[in-house]
Structure 1
Amino acid sequence: MASFASVATLPSPSCSSSDDDYNDAKPLPPLPASKEIRPPPQHQHQHQQQPQRRQLERDCNVAMKAARAGDVDQVLARFAELRASGTPSVLCYNTLMNALVEAGHVKDAHDAFGEMLAAGVAPNASSCNILLKLHSWISDDDDDSPYKAILWMREAGVEPDVGTYSTLITGLCRAGRLPEAWGVLECMLEQGCRPMVHTYTPIVQGYCREGRVGEAMDLMATMEAADCPPNVVTYNVLIRALCDAAKFKEVKQILKESRTKDWTPSIVTYNTFMNGLCQKGKAKEALVLLGVMLGKGLDPTDFTLSILLNCLCHASRISHARFLLERSTSSRWYAGVVAYDTVMGRLCKMGHWRGVLKLLTDMIKKGVMPNTRTFNIVIRSLCIGRKCSAAKSLVCNQGFAANVVTYNTLIDWFFYHRKRSEVGHLMCDMAAGNIAVDEVTYTIFVVGLCRDGNFAKASSCFLESLENGLSMDLLGVLINRLAYNGKIPETIRIFQNMRERKGLFLDNSIFDLTIERFCRAGYCHDKYIHNLNSILDAMLGKQ
């Protein structure tokens, strides 16, 4: 195979030569020997493994692969167990490094690679591809470390293969370096390394990400001509881009042509299409597509149902949503907690609190465990139904993990009904549970205090929120209340206090907001202009 470093410039891509962006294609960076990484010793660690040791490695490797998508700590624990009994094999190191790279633990993955070399375990092609993934997935426009990694592979006696180049292309496309990805693809072809679908698909995705859907389709046609037809993953990428552009006719044509091409739409394909339709408010078409999917023997997933239910609820077709949820049980589809939360949330907004409680009962009977969002919906529904005592009891019995949203719902309701003692108890419960108040909590207090005519306390509450690191957004709510109630002195006092308190600054946006709110309240007329002038003086720091 010709030397990768011998390629001086990137050739223009043959299938997209009309594209002006590629006329400025950069040359491939040179591949100097990396000083940070040394090739491993030429001898491989020789270790005569007993059957028991080999079985332990197999078991640990299987366990690490099963855990890596969800819990890197489990992978590390398994690997530590294996390391304690001897030197792990290259396969186990590969599993560890890949898990760390995919979890974004770049330094740890690099350290694991160094440990493998220090232990005398020679890397194989997969090890080097993982190292390349580590460098290429975090590269930027000026980073040539992926190319250095390929040079290092050759110095280590490992020849890059189609997986190596595909990994590099994926990293370049993720970084938005499409011209370079094209250059690597052309180099592969020149060196007789046959690309596979996984080589082309990242470039298709890169085009789609930039909105260049036509060029993505041209590349897919080139793939077919090169006897490397796109697979379902490639088509899913294209369909997502077409849906984002609301080109649903093209999507239907692609699905129709799948019958004569070597790919079969998957549940992900239909979910992507349905989600695109629902994003544009086409609930009816999405339900028709559900029928097509069922006709092909594909059962909806929880995500499918959530897409459709959310669309139906947004369109206020709540009866259709409830019917679909009930049908999911009789049809043995899986309707998870997200699906129930979607419908319950809509019923809550419509004030149908009894319907919410019925769905809560149904989901528990069917073995679907409610989450915190479920209970928050139930609590809000109970408040709407004037069942505040039941709502508070639900929180107090600690049947679920209450959060700040839970308490904000109850505080808002009790504040509105002027039950100050209940509000005090809830605030104490939040403190006891180490639940910090947020901007919504302060907004509830400011609005409630202003409604009660206690503007001084409302102002103090706002200033306290700023000292706790919250944003200035609450100021608009407070100023609006002060303006419409004619509270000029209180407004002036706020600006004076903000000037006196360390770290609180006044800027043009605050001035604009204040003048705009007071003008809306009628203070721009001649009769009240002196009041407006006094506010301006206060903002400018004049006595």
Structure 2
Amino acid sequence: MPSRSLPRLLLRCLSSGPHHRDHRLSHLLRFASLAKELSVRPRPHPPPPPPPSRPRSPHPYDYNRLMSAHAAESRDGAGSDRALHLLDEMRGPLGRRPDAACFTTAAAALSAASRPGDAIAVLDAMASDGVVPDTAACTVLVGVYACRLRRFDAAYEVVRWMVANGVAPDVVTYSTLISGLCGAGQVAEALGVLDLMLEEGCRPNAHTYTPIMHAYCTRGRIHEAKRLLSTMIAGGFAPSTVTYNVLVKGLCKVGAFKEVDALLEESSAKGWEPDAITYSSYMDGLCKAGRIDESFALVDKMLSNGLQPNEVTLNILLDGVCRSSTAWAAKQLLECSAELGWDCNVVNYNTVMRRLCDERRWFSVVKLLFDMAKKGISPNSWTFNIVVHSLCKLGKPHKALCLLKSEEFVATVITYNTLIRHRSVAGKADEVFLLLHQMIEEGIAPNDITYSLVIDCLCREEKFLVALCCFYRSLQDDFFPSAFLSIVRGLIVGGMLGELHTLIGCVLGQGFIIEVCIYQELIKAFCRKGYCQSVEMYKVCHILERMLSLR
């Protein structure tokens, strides 16, 4: 207690009666001594902080955010697997009951990954868990049926169920249904849904009208598209930049470039701003019409409007240069892109490389590969396939094989087919057969073209038994038409009619169906070989009769 308050308390105690005075004085003296003692005693340390509380159990909201993040970040479909795994974790032994948002996010991720069956299974699990679907969940189901499976009867049934059970369809629901109908070419049905929206008092937006606009423009119905735009504006529904981009692309498709210019001039007055996609679409239309100079002039207009050309824009210009002049000019433009301030990517290089191949400038293709390496642009499998083709055309297949062994190279079946084709033309049957084994060992599955190329080469080298082994291997991989035609032609040319007879019996005995076109090719091959005027014609008739009897 502070010392300045003690005299006041003493006076109060002394003014009281003797008994109370002595009692209060003794208490006061004890209190004063305690106060003095506390004033000289060191202050104790602050109490230790309370032990940390146990972490709270994750809320469904936390799971939903994580599922949405996985689905948004992953472009290879893995995000849908992670979202589904999290949903299964919630429904598993931990017993964290997922809400409608969790089921909806997982189903939407699966639908976006082109897995409509799994998306429906998730929504079925939602119903079995007793979670009442909301508008968002029903909208995802409408999208699965309308946009993925094209089952519009089921999509309409979902909408009817929503109305009957008090789950009101919103603008996203109707817009999703309209998008699916327009994608299937049912524009009249989509307009009927739009009328239904207006009758139900559901206000459409740009996402509702844009699919209809796209359907009109895709089919060249530009007048209907422009009339729809006027209807939107008159009804107070503001078109978006995406809507105008669709119209710009449609106008370019029919060569109405003056109308595109008018749209761009009036954009500010009508409340929309052209973006890079707008100008890229316009450039693409001009390039395809051979008006490459006007296309390049649009670059300055983009820059003046504060828009930076992207890799898509550059690719359009490069392709336009290739169309209007030569790929050599496009190559020069590509090599000086750094000075122009343009960021090139692998797609731009692939475009020019492909055009250079069309002009048989094989060495220039290889030179561009080194130019990519200098700029730090990583080639992809398409790039390597083009370079492998060019090296083979230059007569340097061994360098192509060395490139195949590099760590950066990711070979595909197209790569091996290219090498096999060139080695086959050179008559290198042993190398062709080794390439087939090499691709199988690397886990790259051969296709029908691969087997056909290998069999053709082996038959030309009269290695019929090895060719037959390759054909029987192709049957295990479920490849038949081209490979069968190759082995049959080879056996006919080689005069191996006994082996052909056995082969046809084996193929038909396994239940394979021989198409009419293969019969026609067989007869042509027999005629070219001269069997029709040979004493062995009876063998040909016997083979054909057996094929027809077992068909």
TM-score range, shorter chain: 0.7 to 0.9
Tell me if structure 2 keeps the 8 A contact 1:277–1:283: yes
- Does residue 541 of structure 1 match 2:541? no
CA distance in 2: counterparts of 1:181 and 1:173, whole angstroms: 6
56, 66, 90: which one aligns with 1:60 = 66
70, 92, 97: which one aligns with 2:107 = 97
Q: Which string of whole-angstrom CA distances, capped at 9 and with x for unpartnered residues, describes residues 52-92 of structure 1? A: 74883575255245336552112223445566583344443
Tell me if structure 2 keeps the 8 A contact 1:68–1:99: no
Q: Please state whether the residue corresponding to 2:119 is helix, strand or coil.
A: helix
Which structure has the greater CA radius of gyration? 2
CA distance in 1: counterparts of 2:470 and 2:399, whole angstroms: 31
Q: What residue number does 1:365 align with?
A: 374
- Does residue 197 of structure 1 match 2:200? no
Q: Please state whether the residue corresponding to 2:545 is helix, strand or coil.
A: coil
Tell me if structure 2 keeps the 8 A contact 1:459–1:494: no
CA distance in 1: counterparts of 2:270 and 2:321, whole angstroms: 34
1:30-429 to 2 correspondences below 5 Å: 53=59, 56-57=62-63, 59-60=65-66, 63-64=69-70, 66-67=72-73, 70=76, 71-80=79-88, 84=94, 86-116=96-126, 122-137=132-147, 143-279=152-288, 283-313=292-322, 317-429=326-438
Higher relative contact order (CA 8 A, sep 6+): 1
CA distance in 1: counterparts of 2:58 and 2:515, whole angstroms: 72
Q: Please state how far the C-alpha of 1:353 moved relative to its aligned partner.
A: 4.3
Q: Please state whether the residue corresponding to 1:172 is helix, strand or coil.
A: helix
What number of residue pairs does the alignment pair up? Answer: 484
- The change in CA–CA distance for 1:230 and 1:96 in structure 2 (over 3 A counts) is same
Q: Please state how far the C-alpha of 1:222 moved relative to its aligned partner.
A: 0.9
Q: Which string of whole-angstrom CA distances, capped at 9 and with x for unpartnered residues, describes residues 210-238 of structure 1? A: 44332222111111111213222222223
Give the % identical residues.
36
Structure with the bigger percentage of helix: 2
Moved more, 439-448 or 333-342: 439-448
- The change in CA–CA distance for 1:450 and 1:310 in structure 2 (over 3 A counts) is farther
Q: What residue number does 1:17 align with?
A: none
Q: Which string of whole-angstrom CA distances, capped at 9 and with x for unpartnered residues, describes residues 223-257 of structure 1? A: 11112132222222233334444544544443344
Q: What letter corresponds to residue 133 of structure 1 in structure 2? A: G
Tell me if structure 2 keeps the 8 A contact 1:67–1:74: no
Q: What letter corresponds to residue 541 of structure 1 in structure 2? A: E
Q: What residue number does 1:4 align with?
A: none
Tell me if structure 2 keeps the 8 A contact 1:499–1:506: no
Q: What letter corresponds to residue 372 of structure 1 in structure 2? A: S
CA distance in 2: counterparts of 1:102 and 1:246, whole angstroms: 34
- The change in CA–CA distance for 1:287 and 1:492 in structure 2 (over 3 A counts) is farther
CA distance in 1: counterparts of 2:453 and 2:169, whole angstroms: 62
- The change in CA–CA distance for 1:349 and 1:505 in structure 2 (over 3 A counts) is same
- The change in CA–CA distance for 1:59 and 1:473 in structure 2 (over 3 A counts) is closer
CA distance in 1: counterparts of 2:392 and 2:193, whole angstroms: 62
CA distance in 2: counterparts of 1:491 and 1:164, whole angstroms: 65
Q: What residue number does 1:502 align with?
A: 507
- The change in CA–CA distance for 1:423 and 1:191 in structure 2 (over 3 A counts) is closer
Q: What letter corresponds to residue 136 of structure 2 in structure 1? A: S
- The change in CA–CA distance for 1:495 and 1:541 in structure 2 (over 3 A counts) is farther
CA distance in 2: counterparts of 1:366 and 1:339, whole angstroms: 13
Q: What letter corresponds to residue 108 of structure 1 in structure 2? A: D
CA distance in 2: counterparts of 1:93 and 1:251, whole angstroms: 44
Q: Which string of whole-angstrom CA distances, capped at 9 and with x for unpartnered residues, describes residues 434-477 of structure 1? A: 3333344344445545665x385798589658746445446777
CA distance in 1: counterparts of 2:431 and 2:529, whole angstroms: 38
Q: What letter corresponds to residue 221 of structure 1 in structure 2? A: S
TM-score, normalised to structure 2, is 0.72
Unaligned runs of 5+ in 1: 1-48
Q: Please state how far the C-alpha of 1:478 moved relative to its aligned partner.
A: 8.2
CA distance in 2: counterparts of 1:205 and 1:85, whole angstroms: 46
Q: What letter corresponds to residue 73 of structure 2 in structure 1? A: A
Tell me if structure 1 keeps the 8 A contact 2:314–2:344: yes
Q: Please state whether the residue corresponding to 1:74 is helix, strand or coil.
A: helix
TM-score, normalised to structure 1, is 0.73
- The change in CA–CA distance for 1:239 and 1:473 in structure 2 (over 3 A counts) is farther
Q: What letter corresponds to residue 77 of structure 1 in structure 2? A: H
Q: Please state whether the residue corresponding to 1:320 is helix, strand or coil.
A: helix
